[in-house]
Chain A
Amino acid sequence: MPRLRRAGVGVTALVETKGLSVRYGGATALDRVDFRIDRGEIVTIVGPNGSGKSTLLRALLGGVRPSAGSICRAPDLRIGYVPQRLVLDPTLPLTVTRFLSLSRRVTRGAARAALETAGVPGTGSRQMSQLSGGQFQRVMLARAILETPDLLILDEATAGLDQPGSAAFYRRIEEVRAETGCAVLMVSHDLHVVMSASDRVVCLNGHVCCEGAPDVVAEAPVYRALFGEGTQGALALYRHRHDHRHDGRDTPHSHDGHTHGRGRPHDHGQGDQGQDDHGQAHRDDGPDGGVPAAAISSATRDGEGAPRSGDPDGCRRVAAAGKVS
């Protein structure tokens, strides 16, 4: 499959996987994943529960042994990691300042400055266990930044935060990237925020379903099949025509088939049933729906043309055309 993404001239990947597969017992968590992140990039991995997002992160950190494929890290790569949550055993006393010095000693002044920048000034002498969820995440981010990482990895770092809180958190991450030039790799459920904050989005469901610039991925049918339609309200409706599957399963999809070409919102009420959609879908498959495929890459369209009843999750590769820009 042709890869158009930054043809590798002068760019060395910070981390790169090739054909990475991970199996837990008999179950395949990751299946031939090719992934790379370059210096200064903000990349987000999205995917439903159990799609292997966390497994991929842990593999990149070195905590999971691949059953096939390779993981290649840049030499002397410094990683700053913000875990999804940190379970502090109540028997372990830990002040915020001490936590900031966890794996690398920092001076009191540096710690104070880091807390100020992170938006949690004056918390240095408090116990980690006394912090609120938002403060805790900010402190973890501050610690990760103090490591002066080349690559900042955030695993659902805003899981416990409310909307404004996580928006502020992501703004802070963009600032950090601007200040330090580090690459940022995030796993997230906050699709709206993530989409606006990332350079590139990788949609994962055991394998890489599609990847590319946020708006391209958001329009990709495989992405929409996984996340439904409600996630990108601003999209032109005629692009929804790709939103169907050919195996008759009741995945979110499809009543938008009617609207194509007209681009007007159109409520189908009860048209939401599998059978109905199925029929509808085939009609759409005609040689020409009369519909501009807009930003969807040709690879996507090719993929759409052929029924894929064998594909269990409705996912398939979309060429990484999104990164051409």
Chain B
Amino acid sequence: MLDDFMVRATLAGVGTVLAAAPLGCFVVWRRMAYFGDATAHAAILGIALSLALSLPIFAGALVVSLVMATIVALLSGRGYAMDTLLGVMAHSALAFGLVAVSFLTNIRIDLMAYLFGDILAVSRADLGVIWGGAAMVLGLVAWRWSALLTSTLNPDLARAAGIDPKREQLVLTLALAIVVAVAIKVVGVLLITAMLIVPAAAARPFSRTPEAMAVIATIAAAGAACGGLWTSYRFDTPTGPTIVCIIAVLFCLSAMVSGLRSSFTARSEG
């Protein structure tokens, strides 16, 4: 069954989504979208390093993403506004990464594959990495769920309950780096943030609790991954971007439905 590239691609897409969507809810709640971007863009530098040193891509991307996330976390609150800091870090990481890749003259690499993903070329080994990473992230988020949620609401509330908000921030940082490393093959570094944020945003109007939002986001994203694969196969479009397009369409539908619903409520009340 795994011999079919479409089956492998589907599994890769769903695996990535399982990790990205629940984590994405926290990225949205904590307004860390740019943080995700910075981490993802740093991965390009990691890819260049792993190619130069003949290391597995996954390991290089993971390490550099982690370093980047840690630097950002350390620098925050030291005089720069967070969005300025992340803007600087995200784009300079990307630029340095691209320059570093250009030094690798003896290795032919397909830069587009790393920037936008190459889900159809996923190997069995890649699948193992993706599902292993996804399981780690899911486990981490599920284990820390309550603590993460409390410190997201209010750090002092968390401290009163015996939770260390800094440790939870670290958990999120780690999970984010793993998702980035896992998702490179699927959607590429430029679109990873979309996989985190758009499903969560689309799920928001239909959720009454945080847990419901995570579940709905995951289902929507899994559907979009499958739909995107099929669409890209049918119309011969690049797969990673197509998946993101489908999620974006879902988001638009969700926003329209919620808009209609609230105007309907307003009318029936007025």
Contacts and interface: CB of A to CB of B under 8 A. Distances in A.
Nearest to A151: B160
Interface stretch (B47-55, B68-76, B148-156, B170-178): B148-156
Contacts of B157: 81, 83, 86, 102-103
Interface residues of B, number: 29
A87 B154 CA distance: 8
Nearest to A152: B160
A88 interface: yes
A123 interface: no
A79 interface: yes
Interface residues of A, number: 26
B209 A95 contact: yes
A37 interface: no
Contact of A89 (B31, B158, B160): B31
A127 B156 contact: no
A103 B210 contact: no
Interface string A75-112: 00001110100111101111100100011100000000
A150 B207 CA distance: 35
A295 to B, nearest CB: 36
A93 B156 contact: no
Nearest to A88: B153
Contacts of B28: 91
A63 interface: yes
A103 B150 contact: yes
Interface in A100-158: 102-104, 127, 147, 153, 155
A91 B155 contact: no
B159 A83 contact: no
Interface in B107-158: 146-147, 149-150, 152-158
A193 interface: no
Interface in B166-186: none
A62 interface: yes
B208 A58 contact: no
B36 to A, nearest CB: 15
Contacts of A83: 154, 156-157
A95 B208 contact: yes
B160 A86 contact: no
Contacts of A63: 155-156, 159
Nearest to B207: A93
A61 interface: yes
Closest 3 CB pairs of A and B: A81-B160, A103-B161, A79-B160
Interface of B: 28-31, 146-147, 149-150, 152-161, 163, 200-201, 204, 207-213
